[in-house]
A = this chain, B = another copy of it.
Amino acid sequence: MKSEQLSIFALGGLNEIGKNMYAIQYSDEILIIDCGIKFPDESLLGVDGIIPDITYLQDNKDKIRGLLVTHGHEDHIGGIPYLLKKLNLPVYGSRLTLGLIEIKLKEHNLLAEASLVEIDSETKLDFEYIHVSFFKTNHSIPDCVGMVFDTPEGCVVHTGDFKFDLIPINNQPPDLHKMAQIGSRGVLALLSESTNAEKPGFTPSERIVGEHLMEAFIQARGKVFVSTFASNVNRVQQVINAAHFTNRKVALLGRSMVNVVSVAIDQGYLEVPENMLIEPKSMNFYSPEQVAILCTGSQGEPMAALSRIANSSYRDVEVLPGDTVIFSSSPIPGNERGVSRIIDNLFHLGAKVIYGSGSSTGMHVSGHAYQEELRLMLTLMKPKYFVPIHGEYRMLHHHCQLAGSIGIDPQNMFILKNGDVLDLKDGQASQTRTIPAGNIYIDGLGIGSTGNIILRDRQKLSADGMLIIVIGISKTEGRIVTGPDTITRGFIYVRESEELLKEINQIAAKTVNSLLIQNHHQWNVLKKEVKEKLGHYLFKETKKRPMILPIIIEV
């Protein structure tokens, strides 16, 4: 990087939802903002997670002053263990955020060495060139902050994830006055999240969910199940409140629900009346109308609590006719089928199921600003330069249109890609450089070792299976002495395909024998010919292209 200029870039979070990771650099000082994970779509077979490529950070590790975390969601903290394994950095975050990071670091045996520094919205961090301050925002998890980076070149604001909830459950409204002051002082560049930039209007307050939950609890006769994200502590609080009002004990199901609630209670983010929480297995000591269950799995995750309950395969807990099951969530695109399967199972069990988009049931509100709130942020900050972050391309695009509508010059808006560097010097912005950025796949214990070849093989294996053909040859005699023998998996059902298998062996034998007679002994030639001949035959007969692996052994 050229020195004495300000640079802004992302290693994740642009043109995608997930693995957010942004950085601010001035001269030889780098601050990182968030380090998230992204969950793979169905095309990334076998991949467990995706994290940002941090090559640039590793190459510049002496310049990095720390990781600042906006809030405790997976797409902002999920990559931290992998980052800390490579780079030992201080991690700055608010109390709840650090609490959730700690759970994660404990699982990776990294907590002991980690340096976690608690901040709040009043904290000021003074690095050599960059001075960081914070402002409170609302989101679907408590203790979120936006960040202000005062640099010699000017002030950069990163919103983090936010909405404007003016009547929040935890009575922590957004720092509107502070935001106004920041804007008044002058903002060189605003990085603002774009998740809901396509949605007109203003997100409803979390409070309306509480009203709908209360109503459902009052009407319910049997047990009440509520499924939501564990990290939505204010939502959990409202479920607790409704349970308390209707004299129900609450059981927690699902590892993350138990973990997060425990942290939130310890840290004072959640108020739970004494003796209210019960173990799932004690549920049977109470009558159905004395029990509520808070569980994970609202996105249809097949191994999560709700899915197993709906399959009647969760020990100690069953849904009976007359029970109520509330999805306090909206299905994330891609999860609809899994969610629908659970809903169908719950109806089969006789439950009353409250499901669908939050706007239709009132049981969920988004944590991300809608268009009017994004305009409000833009108006408060009135930045010279605008960089929409945290979203797919169409969201970034819409966010720029919103910025245009409040008077920001389109020339001063930058839709960046991960790795694009925005340089700011003497009040002028330009994007001409890029740094390495990309997807690193977590696959079992392998980090970054799974690449396109492996994924292509998995794709092929998953669609058409494979066929191994084993042939033992004698070079001295110039003929096949054992086999061909065929092994298939995921291709055809062997017992019903005797004719086909016989033909496969004959083709392989004929191919190899005729090459041996012509004195072609190179295994590569033999294998290639067998593969081609069989591939052609099998596609003609089955319209499938299994992976063909000839194994030729000198006997």
Give the interface of A toward B (CB within 8 A): 15, 41-42, 45-46, 198, 333-334, 336-337, 340, 343-344, 347-348, 353, 356, 392-394, 397, 443-446, 449-451, 453-455, 457-459, 461-466, 468, 470, 472, 482, 487, 489-493, 496-497, 541-544, 547, 549, 551, 553-555
What B residues does A466 contact at CB under 8 A?
461, 466, 489
Of B450, B465, B542, the contact of A457 (CB 8 Å cutoff): B465
User: CA–CA, A99 to B337, complex, Å?
Assistant: 33
Q: Is A347's CB under 8 angstroms from B397's CB?
A: yes
Of B198, B356, B458, the contact of A356 (CB 8 Å cutoff): B198
Supposing A463-B458, A466-B466 touch, asked if A496 and B449 sit within 8 A by C-beta, the answer is yes
User: CA–CA, A529 to B543, complex, Å?
Assistant: 36
Q: Is B492's CB under 8 angstroms from A454's CB?
A: yes
Of B356, B465, B470, the contact of A454 (CB 8 Å cutoff): B465
Q: Is B492's CB under 8 angstroms from A446's CB?
A: yes
Q: Is A458's CB under 8 angstroms from B490's CB?
A: yes
Q: Is B468's CB under 8 angstroms from A344's CB?
A: no
Q: Is A445's CB under 8 angstroms from B543's CB?
A: yes
What B residues does A344 contact at CB under 8 A?
15, 392-394
A-B contact pairs, 6 of them (CB 8 A): A46-B465, A198-B356, A336-B336, A444-B542, A450-B493, A454-B465
What B residues does A459 contact at CB under 8 A?
462
Q: Is A491's CB under 8 angstroms from B454's CB?
A: yes
What B residues does A337 contact at CB under 8 A?
41-42, 333-334
Supposing A198-B356, A336-B334, A454-B492 touch, asked if A468 and B394 sit within 8 A by C-beta, the answer is no
Q: Is A462's CB under 8 angstroms from B553's CB?
A: no
What B residues does A353 contact at CB under 8 A?
394
Q: Is A553's CB under 8 angstroms from B472's CB?
A: yes
CB distance from A519 to the nearest CB of B (A): 23
Supposing A46-B465, A344-B392, A542-B445 touch, asked if A454 and B490 sit within 8 A by C-beta, the answer is yes
What B residues does A463 contact at CB under 8 A?
45-46, 458
Q: Is A493's CB under 8 angstroms from B454's CB?
A: yes
Of B393, B446, B542, B553, the contact of A446 (CB 8 Å cutoff): B542
Q: Is B551's CB under 8 angstroms from A493's CB?
A: no
What B residues does A46 contact at CB under 8 A?
462-465, 490, 544
- Listed from nearest, the 3 A-B pairs whose CB atoms lie closest are A462-B462, A444-B543, A461-B461
Q: Is B445's CB under 8 angstroms from A461's CB?
A: no
Q: Is B551's CB under 8 angstroms from A457's CB?
A: no
CB distance from A498 to the nearest CB of B (A): 12
CB distance from A549 to the nearest CB of B (A): 6
Of B392, B446, B453, the contact of A340 (CB 8 Å cutoff): B392
What B residues does A356 contact at CB under 8 A?
198
User: CA–CA, A542 to B444, complex, Å?
Assistant: 6
Q: Is B470's CB under 8 angstroms from A461's CB?
A: no
CB distance from A490 to the nearest CB of B (A): 4
What B residues does A489 contact at CB under 8 A?
457, 461, 466, 547, 549
What B residues does A348 contact at CB under 8 A?
393
**Apart from A445-B543, A453-B493, A470-B551: 4 A-B pairs, beta carbons within 8 A:** A333-B340, A457-B489, A482-B554, A489-B547
What B residues does A336 contact at CB under 8 A?
333-334, 336
Supposing A45-B462, A444-B542 touch, asked if A493 and B15 sit within 8 A by C-beta, the answer is no
Q: Which residue of B lies closest to A454 (CB)?
A: B490
Of B449, B458, B492, the contact of A449 (CB 8 Å cutoff): B492
What B residues does A455 contact at CB under 8 A?
490
Q: Which residue of B lies closest to A343 (CB)?
A: B394
What B residues does A461 contact at CB under 8 A?
458, 461-462, 465-466, 489-490
Q: Which residue of B lies closest to A302 (CB)?
A: B43
Q: Which residue of B lies closest to A497 (CB)?
A: B449
Q: Is A443's CB under 8 angstroms from B544's CB?
A: yes
> Looking at A344, A397, A444, which has the most chain B CB atoms within 10 Å of its CB?
A444
User: CA–CA, A461 to B458, complex, Å?
Assistant: 6
CB distance from A447 to the nearest CB of B (A): 11
CB distance from A130 to the nearest CB of B (A): 33
User: CA–CA, A69 to B492, complex, Å?
Assistant: 33
Q: Which residue of B lies closest to A496 (CB)?
A: B449
Q: Which residue of B lies closest to A543 (CB)?
A: B444
User: CA–CA, A543 to B444, complex, Å?
Assistant: 5
What B residues does A547 contact at CB under 8 A?
489
User: CA–CA, A472 to B458, complex, Å?
Assistant: 28
What B residues does A41 contact at CB under 8 A?
337
What B residues does A497 contact at CB under 8 A?
449
What B residues does A551 contact at CB under 8 A?
468, 470, 487, 551
User: CA–CA, A482 to B547, complex, Å?
Assistant: 25
Q: Which residue of B lies closest to A15 (CB)?
A: B344
Supposing A443-B544, A493-B454, A549-B487 touch, asked if A472 and B555 sit within 8 A by C-beta, the answer is yes
What B residues does A397 contact at CB under 8 A?
347
Q: Which residue of B lies closest to A442 (CB)?
A: B543
Supposing A489-B549, A490-B454, A543-B444 touch, asked if A394 and B449 sit within 8 A by C-beta, the answer is no
User: CA–CA, A472 to B551, complex, Å?
Assistant: 12
